[in-house]
Amino acid sequence: MAKTSTGLEENIAGLLCYVLGWITGLVFFLIEKENKFVRFHALQSIIVFGILSVASIVIGWIPFVGWVISALIGILALVLWIILMIKAYQGEKFKLPWAGDLAEKNS
């Protein structure tokens, strides 16, 4: 595995992009200027978990139905969080539909 400008192995840095969702994605996107693998995972984290966070908050304002949908979004986010961290640790550039394409184009 290649090292990153942070001194971490790229698979470890890729995993860390997802640890706190879009927050760690943003941190790694700002500090990693060279490694395309890490920048891809950082940007995908920002896009996926940023959208899920905003959607959950906005939909959560709707009484009853919104709360259920918001809970389902939380479950989806948990599943994606686990899968994306595992795939990044394995050194795989696992692209989610739409968000992965956007992240790849801009990383």
Pick from 96, 103, 44, 49: nearest CA to 74: 49
pTM for the model stands at 0.92
Per-position pLDDT tens, the chain of length 107: 678 888 899 999 999 999 999 999 999 999 999 999 999 999 999 999 999 999 999 999 999 999 999 999 999 999 999 999 999 999 999 999 999 999 999 98
